[in-house]
Structure formats: C-alpha cells, structure tokens
Structure 1
C-alpha cells in the first residue's frame, strides 16, 4: 500500500452503484448536522473531506446534482437508490461534507453527540452569527 493510499476510507451509496474513496480532513471530529431545510429532511451526519480528497472508483456519472436557494452548495445523490453521498459546502466550497452512513464501518449512531450547525440563519446570510444551533444526542437503551 502506498503512503497516499494509507488513511483512505471506502464509501458507497446504498445500492453500491456509486463507490468512492476519501481522506477525512479532521477525522470524525468534524462530524456534524445542519438545521437548514434540506438537511433537516435528509437527516444525515456528515464529516469533512477537502475537495480533491475524494476519488470516485465507480459510477460518478450515476450521481445527480441538487442545488437550491443560493445555488452555491452542490448536493449529490445516487440516481439509482436516492442516497445522499456528499455535498460541496456553501460555508467552505473547498470542502465536502460526506454522509457518514456511506463510509464503510461507520454509522451516524456511532456518535453520542453531534453538533448541529445553524443553516437556517446561515453565517453567510446573517453576518456571521452563531454557527452552532445545538447538539443532537444519541444514547443506546
């Protein structure tokens, strides 16, 4: 294994049509959610990867792009199974938010607490207000 390949994580959509590798910017410490209208509905926990640190292994062409509101963020979904895989962030276009559930061996339920970022009053719109809206907690029974 080359030094470049070390630390790469395997990821895929639900049906496996889209497969990719990535290197996380700050490991799982970057785990977060957002409370904007789209993120509230999709409910994913995401981790960060720099643009250029995602390599598509299979069927990148099977991704569909969704944009709304300011048309800056770029949200990607598998055309076959509909799973959200990643998005290019509005708050930092040099970074992707990657769906934790797509990464092999990871689950959103691995995190006892996840910061919820303020997407309703996005810092780009609100003059840099509070970035954190709250904390989502998960505890096993």
Structure 2
C-alpha cells in the first residue's frame, strides 16, 4: 500500500514529504560513513517524482567521499542526516533517488522495525 510520509531534521529547518510503499523495515549499513552515523535508512530508494522538499533547501549541506556514488545530505544547523541521494551505481544510472533516515520520519520508530544489515564495506 502506498503512503505519504513527512519528516524533518531535528531543528525543523529541513522538512520533506515523499510517497512510498508502506515502510515495514529498515536498513543499517556498515560502510565507513553509515557505521559512524548509525542511522536506520528506508528499505527502498524513492524516485525524485515522489519527493517534495517542503523547507530547507538552503539549510542542506552535502558530503561526498570515496567513489562519489552518494550525496550524504545534512542540516547545517542541527547536523542531522535526513536522506542520502544515489548519484550513480555501476551499470545502473539512478541519479536523484533518495533513501531516507527513518529517525526523521514522523510516526516511525526505527528501533521497533525489523532491520536488515547491508555489507556496505563490500561495495
């Protein structure tokens, strides 16, 4: 079932809305940035056509590293990482698709969900 989700960073400077299948689980990755950030992320990437940034375009900063396949966005005021954008994936162009930090989504308790572990170090 498709639902509309809304979320925000901690201080509220960044607010967003997206359409997605119902979120019943999350992902944790062990790559070098995710293991330090500790976020539980949405299980699927959301296409740009299903995403609306309600507030905070100017409050967002981006961090890139390594092979530059992801834009890791964070709020410059509170430092929270609300989402990450895949830039490219080997053999699969997918620019603009986002995966959301479930701790930023209204009404979702990421610690109450079944969490899949992803071996990001192997990528």
| 1:50-129 → structure 2 map (5 Å cutoff) | 50-89=47-86, 91=89, 93-94=94-95, 95-111=97-113, 113-122=114-123
1:42 aligns with 2:42: no
Matched pairs, number: 115
1:16 aligns with 2:12: yes
Cα offset, 1:29, TM superposition = 4.2
Deviation track 1:48-88 (CA, whole Å, cap 9, x = no partner) reads 32223210111122100000000121110001000000001
Greater radius of gyration (CA): 1
TM-score for both structures, normalised by structure 1? 0.74
8 Å contact kept, 2:75–2:81: yes
8 Å contact kept, 2:3–2:22: no
Runs ≥4 residues deviating over 4 A: none
- Aligned mates of 1:60, 1:44 — CA distance in 2: 21
TM-score for both structures, normalised by structure 2? 0.84
CA RMSD of aligned residues (A): 1.8
